Amino acid sequence: MGDGWSPLFVSLYPGALQLQIINFNFETVQVTWNTSEASGANLTFFYKDKEDYRECSSYTLRRGYTTGCLLEVEKDELLYFSIRHGTHSLLNKRQWISSYLKPRSPTGLSFQWRQGAVTVTCSNLRYKGLLYEIQHKGPSDAEWQSNEAKTCNVTISGLDGEKCYFFRARVKTRESSYGPDTHPSDWSEVTHRQRGELRGNACLAASPCSPGHRLFPNFLLITGMVIFLTASLLVLSFWKLQRIKKVLMPSVPDPRSTFSGLFESHQGNFQEWIKDTQNVTHLNKTEEREQACVLEEAVVQLAEAERPKTMASGPADPQTGEEEAARDPCHLPCQPPQVASLQGFTFVMSDNSYMML
């Protein structure tokens, strides 16, 4: 009974007669029967219109045999019908068509996104006793998640605004109102939403927000961050190594950058490079000694000028002068010694000595 088929075994007919009734939204009623293919007979359908029975005017066929009848209705009413094989009546039945109701699929779904939740609304059907079911599925969900309400105003919480979700809706009847033989409506078209915005109606695998498409940018981001961190660590390690190397092994400056031309023109001969670049004249030993003596004499003259006059006016002791000359290394080489001869004696005199005759 749950699938809508009611197997009925009729003794007047040599096959099993299965019956299915569907009331499409109180607009059309479809009565379908199925007989044994071996019977090879056309069955006729009669229904009661007001007082009299009338034959079906719109049959459904399969392999040339009648398999059902379509009836137009306007409201919930009792349906009297009879299925016959020729003049023999195989089935007579009376049934409220609401017991086989199949509601129409919801249309015009609208989505209102709030903080971590979305409210789905649509137009309610004109009859009561219904349940509006909204299903959603996220990128990581293996199954559809369902939420139901008595009106088409369903709020779904616990959603992530950055993720993409698929939504679909349908209408079911409550068994307490219509019984166990009703049918849920067909699912609405799957809608793809992110933050309440339409992202396209597509299957889960081909959608631009499907898990396969979302993983690829995340993979690129993670890979880029790993490469960046690795390169940064390598640069930091190299910089630290250079600093340690400078502390432990300080570099010796290259003389080529300081002494231009020392190696290029003079093959490392520093004295030759000094002569060429600094214009320095080397003094021989005699000139060096003479300059030293000049400086020494200037110092001695300055010292004698500062002596007391009593000491300066007295006669100079020849021995003292000789001793001073002996202590002064500059007097001998500064001027050639003066030689005096007197009565067979030879005297050597310096600049600061004199003879008394």
> Each residue of 321-333: pLDDT tens digit?
555 544 554 444 4
| pLDDT of 94 higher than 50 | yes
321/309 same-domain check: no
Beta carbons within 8 Å of 174's beta carbon, 6+ residues apart? 129, 130, 131
Domain that includes residue 54, residue range: 5-102
307/323 same-domain check: no
- Do the domain assignments include residue 184? yes
- The tokens describing 213, both together, are 């498409």
Pairing between β-strand 101-102 and β-strand 16-24 as defined by DSSP bridges: parallel
**Against a cut of 0.85, is the pTM above it?**
no
Q: Using the 3D structure, point to which of 69, 102, 135 is the last residue of a domain.
A: 102
Quote the DSSP letter at residue 97. Answer: G
- Do the domain assignments include residue 13? yes
CB 20 within 8 A of CB 32: yes
As a whole number of angstroms, the distance between CA 192 and CA 210 comes to: 10
Structural domain total, the chain: 4
Beta bridge partners of 49: 52
- The tokens describing 50, both together, are 């007001």
As a whole number of angstroms, the distance between CA 118 and CA 155 comes to: 6
Of 62, 90, 79, the closest CA to residue 23 belongs to 79
80 CB-side CA count, 13 A:
7
- pLDDT at position 130: 95
Q: Using the 3D structure, point to which of 200, 234, 249 is the last residue of a domain.
A: 200
- Secondary structure class of 294 (helix, strand, coil): helix
Is the four-CA dihedral 231, 233, 239, 241 of positive or negative sign? Answer: negative
Describe the strand order of the beta sheet including 110-114 as a list of residue ranges. 110-114, 117-121, 153-157
CATH classification at residue 159: 2.60.40.10
Residue pLDDT, tens place only, 28-41: 999 998 866 545 67
- Do the domain assignments include residue 219? no
- Do the domain assignments include residue 307? yes
- pLDDT at position 292: 60
87/166 same-domain check: no
- Secondary structure class of 126 (helix, strand, coil): coil
- Do the domain assignments include residue 335? yes
- pLDDT at position 153: 94
- Do the domain assignments include residue 225? no
293/338 same-domain check: no
- Do the domain assignments include residue 327? yes
CB 114 within 8 A of CB 160: no
- Do the domain assignments include residue 196? yes
88/15 same-domain check: yes
As a whole number of angstroms, the distance between CA 67 and CA 56 comes to: 12
189/152 same-domain check: yes
Between these two residues, 209 and 267, which has the higher pLDDT value?
267
Give the model's confidence band at 213: pLDDT under 50 very low, under 70 low, under 90 confident, else very high. very low
59/136 same-domain check: no
12/97 same-domain check: yes
